[in-house]
Chain A
Amino acid sequence: MEIDGPLGLLAELTYRCPLACAYCSNPVELEAYREELTTAEWQRVITEAAELGALQCHLSGGEPLLRRDLADLVRTAADQGLYTNLVTSALGFTPARAAELHDAGLDHVQVSLQADEPALSDRIAGSPSFARKIDAARRVRELGWPLTLNVVLHRQNIDRVPEILAAAEELEADRIELANTQYYGWAAVNRAALLPSREQLAEAEVVVREAKERLRGRMEIIYVIPDYYATYPKPCMGGWGARQLVVVPTGDALPCLAAHGLPLPAANVREHPLSWIWQDSPMFSAYRGTDWMQDPCRSCARREIDLGGCRCQAFALTGDATRTDPVCHLAPEHGIVEAAVAEANEESRPVELPLVARPHA
């Protein structure tokens, strides 16, 4: 079988970060990722990804700006014709750094915001950072880049979607991604404090729908629905080993950024060429297509539509990555999701609940 190449490389350059967001999707065992790939190793990974057919290179983390060689990596990706996208908290996006990245050919910048105002934003981020983020977002526009704002939504900020959208308009953002939290990594640890109520979601969705209409053609609004409240799961990553290739700081290649810890042999770029990893490694072939499925997915009419949902979520919640994603209302383990949702909707449950900050490294 001929396997199409990946569309994009998500390079998680480091898991070190000056912030400590409680919703962070980074893995819980952060200490295990200190032996980061060198500049030359990343350059080889980027080049091999382009040769495999990748068109985009997302530079993320952790905080990618903590890598002093970031501009060199951007230059390598740009030389390979890749569309380069920096995904950043914006801490460390100084005028000098911004200019250096601009010269290196960086195409796009996504700045994450935790909320629309300093007190809440800094509380969620676990560190004073709001003012610097706003400065950085302005700098992105001044240098002529398109500006995308990334806001992860959850119980403690979703009531502020109107104000968040107003802040984005004020910053003249081209795009805003309002992504409901996916419960991976630290977000899974903090799930009970992050899962919104049905009422909160319904209100936010009304605001988003109205704003999409009003801002059409001016600011694009991407709203990622919360899968705990959906009837069917999302086709995670557009299919296992189908479109995206993630490389973590220590060189393990993964089909999804939440695939840490799945019981499959590691596929590390220090040991194998990327083409073998993509086409032949057990890590990437295990859940390609639909052959791996059990019932109810195996005999379900939607199996080619949602591909049984997220393998990592199935593994995290049931201990078996080949089960139906428990988010699906047909899943045998759907009760796990229902119980979390029931708790989030308890009548007297406060909006503000204590958060566990992720460590900086």
Chain B
Amino acid sequence: MTSSISTTGVPRLGRGVKLRYDRSRERHVLLMPETVVVLNATGTAILQLCDGERTVADIVEALREQYGDVPEGQVHAYLAKLAERRHLEITDGD
């Protein structure tokens, strides 16, 4: 599937989804009723920026400030995948 994601969309955690640091696994995790997603460093960095205020473009920009060159396409694809699973909601920013 192609990720048709708008750069002006504003991502935030989906309803009922929580992002938390798990001490025993020493990783951030996304919590939902039947699922636990253990995040890697990249996933954590992206999700921490999904605050319901930043646009997709802002997020890519912020990641670039932190990590240098960040492939935009991969960030878009990651956000689209999470949105399809409803771990994220992306509201229209325009």
Q: Contact between B84 and A108 (Cβ–Cβ < 8 Å)? A: no
Let me know if A148 and B36 touch, CB within 8 A.
no
B77 to chain A, nearest CB (A): 15
**Contact residues, A73-118 vs B (CB, 8 A):** 81, 83, 85, 107-108, 110
C-alpha spacing A81/B14, complex, angstroms: 18
* Residue A162 at the chain B interface, CB threshold 8 Å: no
Given contacts A56-B36, A146-B16, 16 further A-B contacts (CB under 8 A): A5-B24, A52-B24, A55-B22, A81-B20, A83-B33, A107-B16, A108-B16, A108-B32, A144-B15, A146-B14, A146-B33, A174-B86, A175-B33, A175-B86, A220-B86, A222-B34
* B20 nearest CB neighbor, chain A only: A81
Contact at A146–B31, with CB atoms within 8 Å?
A: no
Docked-complex contact A108 and B24, CB < 8 angstroms: no
Flag whether A145 is at the interface (Cβ < 8 A). yes
**Interface size class, chain A:** 20 to 34
- Which residues on A sit within 8 Å (CB–CB) of B31? 55-56, 83, 107
A40-63 interface code vs B (CB 8 A; 1 in, 0 out): 000000000000110110100000
- Nearest Cβ distance between residue A319 and chain B, in whole angstroms? 32
Task: Give Cα A7–Cα B22 distance, bound, in whole angstroms.
Answer: 11
| Cβ-neighbour of B33 out of A5, A85, A216 (below 8 A) | A85
Do residues B24 and A148 form an inter-chain contact, with CB atoms below 8 A?
A: no
Does A265 sit at the interface, judged by CB under 8 A? no
Contacts A146-B16, A216-B84: A108 and B25 contacting too (C-beta < 8 A)?
no
Asked if B29 is an interface residue, CB under 8 A from chain A, the answer is: yes
Are B86 and A83 interface neighbours, CB within 8 A?
no
Q: State which of A8, A146, A217 has its C-beta within 8 Å of the C-beta of B15.
A: A146
CA distance A160 to B63 in the complex (A): 48
Residue B18 is within 8 A (CB to CB) of chain A in the complex: yes
* Cross-chain contact A110 with B33 (CB below 8 angstroms): yes
Query: Chain A 200-234, CB within 8 Å of chain B: the 1/0 string?
Result: 00000000000000001100101000000000000
Q: Could you tell me which residues of chain B, from 10 to 49, have a CB within 8 Å of some CB in chain A?
A: 14-16, 18, 20, 22, 24-25, 29, 31-34, 36
Docked Cα-Cα span, A175 to B16, in Å, equals 11
B18 is contacted by which of A83, A110, A144, A145 (Cβ under 8 Å)? A83
Tell me, in angstroms, the Cα distance from A81 to B19 when the chains sit together. Answer: 11
Which chain A residue has the least Cβ–Cβ distance from B16?
A146
9 A-B pairs whose Cβ atoms sit less than 8 Å apart in the complex: A53-B24, A56-B36, A83-B18, A107-B16, A145-B16, A146-B33, A174-B86, A216-B84, A220-B85
Q: Which residue, A58, A146, A148, A216, has most C-beta atoms of chain B within 10 A? A: A146
Q: Which residues of B contact A110 (CB under 8 A)?
A: 33
Q: Return chain A residues, CB-CB under 8 Å to B16.
A: 107-108, 145-146, 174
The answer to whether B18 touches A107, judged by C-beta atoms less than 8 angstroms apart, is: yes
B33 to chain A, nearest CB (A): 5
* Chain A residues whose CB sits within 8 angstroms of the CB of B84 once the complex forms: 216-217
- B57 adjacent to chain A (CB < 8 Å): no
Interface centre among B20, B22, B25, B32 (most CB of A within 10 A): B32
Q: Shortest Cβ distance from B56 into chain A, in angstroms? A: 16
Q: Which listed residue, B15, B20, B25, B83, touches A53 by the CB 8 Å rule?
A: B25
